[in-house]
Chains A and B, each alone.
Chain A
């Protein structure tokens, strides 16, 4: 029986589908989940999720969040997620540079924390995407 993987972000569902096994980037390192896994709750670190279906692999970059494994359903709750195939390197690099610029400026001028948090999350997620994309493919 295959696993059901769903990745949920505040903007909506980023991924739903059946997979044979999935590797999650958790706070304790990478964890490979196979069907029949014990129910588990874990903290997700920014990184990549590898989903294998019938020999083909999919890579998804995720931001920080939580994951729940219950009855062969893997639910990932994350601030952001994107399929590696859809990552446009130039676009991401631009986004990251812009976010870091703005962040440095904001810190120097002492802007409000909400703004800084948003910029940080943009920069962090862009960085994750870059790392994941540059590693392979």
Chain B
């Protein structure tokens, strides 16, 4: 049995750890709230953009845009969005399990240190590594999107896919692989988006009259697909952030609870050891007096 001094030392250490995990839990909780709000506030923009894209693509069938045309898939391009830091439960491990299942050949691009580490350690074809600040801003996404589009236009990759942690609720996040390009199944993509956003725009019923495009449909269509991909990647990055902070909050809550239990157990051990020592002393004194 360890001495009372050793047990006291351990109780102190566990208490300190508990305080740290509790602080981390609180920080994660406040960041989670913000990340969720950010993710929600960008929704109407995503929806309107998708609807505009749909109306142009419906009307203008002549126009060709490399992102809108299907092509033979030789090499997939996958963007993996992970967290920079650990201590967030199984969040990143779940993403990596998905990566292991993906069949080669794939070119990877990563956001977040954990993904970069995993991809380089497992000797996968990692093309670039980007990082985002905690407050994911619109312009931060630009580098990633331009890089992937360039690879796509050059024919280096034939799809643009994103693997991220989908935010289900505070307790549950799941890895999700979403294909953004080529947009040959634009309709399906938009339906998926509509389901996700549950429509928050002013209702418009169908209008039979012909659409007018100014200055021209081609000019409008030229910019839209890129903007759409940028917006979608931004949304997924925001969602990943929300997932990360939720996962961390839950993991840190579990750690805080564990440390409390541990302190209780150790206190019991400490009292037992203390009593044993006192009993021992009394027995020794009594034995000495009897002689």
A residues lining the B interface (CB < 8 Å):
4, 6, 8-13, 16, 26-28, 31, 38-43, 66, 68, 70-71, 73, 75, 77, 79, 112-115, 117-118, 121
Contacts and interface: CB of A to CB of B under 8 A. Distances in A.
B157 to A, nearest CB: 21
A118 B143 CA distance: 12
Given A16-B202, A41-B220, A66-B52, A71 B139 contact: no
B201 A117 contact: no
Contact residues of B: prevailing secondary structure: helix
A14 B214 CA distance: 24
A40 B211 contact: yes
Nearest to B140: A114
B142 A12 contact: no
CB-based closest 6 A-B pairs: A118-B139, A12-B41, A40-B212, A42-B214, A114-B142, A39-B211
A13 B48 CA distance: 11
Contacts of B137: 118
Interface residues on B, range: 35 or more
A31 B231 CA distance: 28
A71 B52 CA distance: 14
B45 A8 contact: yes
A105 B143 CA distance: 20
Given A43-B219, A43-B220, A113-B143, A77 B48 contact: yes
B284 interface: no
Contact of B48 (A42, A75, A113, A117): A75
Given A10-B138, A68-B48, A70-B207, A114 B55 contact: no
Given A11-B42, A114-B143, A41 B48 contact: no
Interface string B68-108: 00000000000000000000000000000000000000000
Given A43-B219, A43-B220, A75-B48, A10 B234 contact: yes
Given A4-B202, A31-B214, A39-B212, 12 more contacts: A6-B201, A12-B44, A40-B211, A41-B213, A68-B51, A71-B204, A112-B143, A113-B146, A114-B142, A117-B139, A117-B142, A121-B139
A13 B43 CA distance: 9
A6 B55 contact: no
A71 B215 contact: no
A42 B207 contact: no
B210 interface: yes
